[in-house]
Amino acid sequence: MALSPQGTLSVETLDDSDPDPPEGSSFLEPEAEHHTDIILLGSSEPSELSSPASPGPSRDICICCGSFQVHTQHPLFEGGMCAPCKDKFLGRLFLYDDDGYQSYCSVCCSGDTLLICENPDCTRCYCFECMDTLVGPGTSGRVQAVSNWVCFLCLPFPRSGLLRRRKKWRGWLKAFCDGESENTLETYKTVPVWKREPVRVLSLFGDIRNELTSLGFLEPGSDPGRLKHLDDATDVVRRDVEGWGPFDLVYGSTPPVGHACDHPPVWYLLQFHRVLQYARPRPARQQPFFWMFVDNLVLTQEDRTVATRFLEADPVTIQDICGRTIQNVNAVHVWSNIPAVRSKHSALVSQEALSSLAQDRRRMKPPAQGPAKLVKNCFLPLREYFKCFSTGLTSSL
């Protein structure tokens, strides 16, 4: 796998030349572009890595698996996509690993071995199979042999072999997610690097400063105004929130197990919902706005139903398995509009077991990880929208 040394050339695709695909309609017909073969930075013999000029992939073939049963068009690269690959792509595109890179190939959202882009501002990966099939045989091996590799979405040129980047791919991706996903929440258009600003956060009942700092969203010792933390929102009114803001992320949670609290668990949900309405940007402001509410298994089933109705989103269960017994499970319920907030362990523990765990929590030693640490990696997709600072997580980029 290509490693990520310091000092890599930072390149961002300029994709603002054409209009976005209209939302709610079929994708636009790709236009002809000048052919440019793959560029691998750091190679002393770039000519060896060139591919023969060839036409782009057909709209009638799934570029992920080769199926002729095309359901839609791939949002990032020219070519078709079958229904099974579409579902896989929607569920995996925004998933990240602990190292800060995306978990799956940006073409097929699969792949056993991935090569990472070495642009410091990019977190995308590509599998050997897609590179060798779409770019040219042996491409993956040649990429491994160079010191600095910039991926197909970061190159200033649109084509590498059969793989051709779409013009205005950010707009295509938003239209794809909004049109193909069963999720009713809007997907915001990702933001080019040069337009990203530091995130501004309102944190209710749980302080997530350490988690956001470790991920690079906040600088150590940064402007305190970047994160506003409140333990009690009882007296907070709209004027207060508008004066502190504007905010890009609103976080709230029920108290961790074992912590004394002055209110019933559902109070934290209702206060979060009230303050969230104050923090939402006005319709005229076209800006990404994210929120997350975390229940530390203290809300009742009726309370969770209220949360789903008020927040207009279904919950997911994020689990941390520290062994093979239910006593070693730490879990939370999460409502959020952050892309791909989901659990990699969702099938390992049944809902009945989680209910039993919630009932036993008062008699158990509190989990080592609080709710904020458990959902920490759920914030990683925000790297597509906000500025990131150097941290241990990204120091190798």
CA separation for the pair 223, 227 (Å, rounded)? 8
Q: Which residues, other chains included, contact 184 with Cβ-Cβ below 8 Å and sequence gap of 6+? A: 312, 313
CA separation for the pair 176, 184 (Å, rounded)? 13
378 CB neighbour count, 10 Å cutoff: 24
| pLDDT class of 259 with cuts at 50, 70, 90 | low
Question: Of 313, 213, 211, 243, which is closest to residue 272 (Cα–Cα)?
Answer: 313
Question: 311-346 b/e with 16+ CB inside 10 Å = b?
Answer: bebebbbbbbeeeeeeeebbbbbbbbbbbbbbbeee
- Residue 310's pLDDT is 94
Backbone φ and ψ for 292, nearest 5 degrees, come out as: -155, 135
| pLDDT class of 11 with cuts at 50, 70, 90 | very low
Is there a contact between 364 and 325 (Cβ–Cβ < 8 Å)? no
- Tell me: pLDDT of 283 over 50: yes
Question: Of 294, 337, 290, 340, which is closest to residue 313 (Cα–Cα)?
Answer: 337
Amino acid at 226: R
| pLDDT class of 294 with cuts at 50, 70, 90 | very high
Is there a contact between 251 and 206 (Cβ–Cβ < 8 Å)? yes
274 CB neighbour count, 10 Å cutoff: 15
Average pLDDT estimate for 187-215: 90
- Tell me: pLDDT of 277 over 60: yes
Mean of the per-residue pLDDT values of the chain? 77
Average pLDDT estimate for 113-131: 90
Quick: pLDDT tens for 349-375: 555 555 555 555 555 555 545 667 778
How does strand 159-160 pair with strand 125-127? unpaired
Is there a contact between 64 and 85 (Cβ–Cβ < 8 Å)? yes
Quick: pLDDT tens for 321-349: 554 444 445 788 899 999 877 645 444 45
For residue 47, count CB atoms less than 10 angstroms from its CB and return exposed for 0-12, middle for 13-18, buried for 19 or more.
Answer: exposed
Question: Of 173, 201, 200, 167, which is closest to residue 187 (Cα–Cα)?
Answer: 173
Question: Of 175, 134, 126, which is closest to residue 153 (Cα–Cα)?
Answer: 126
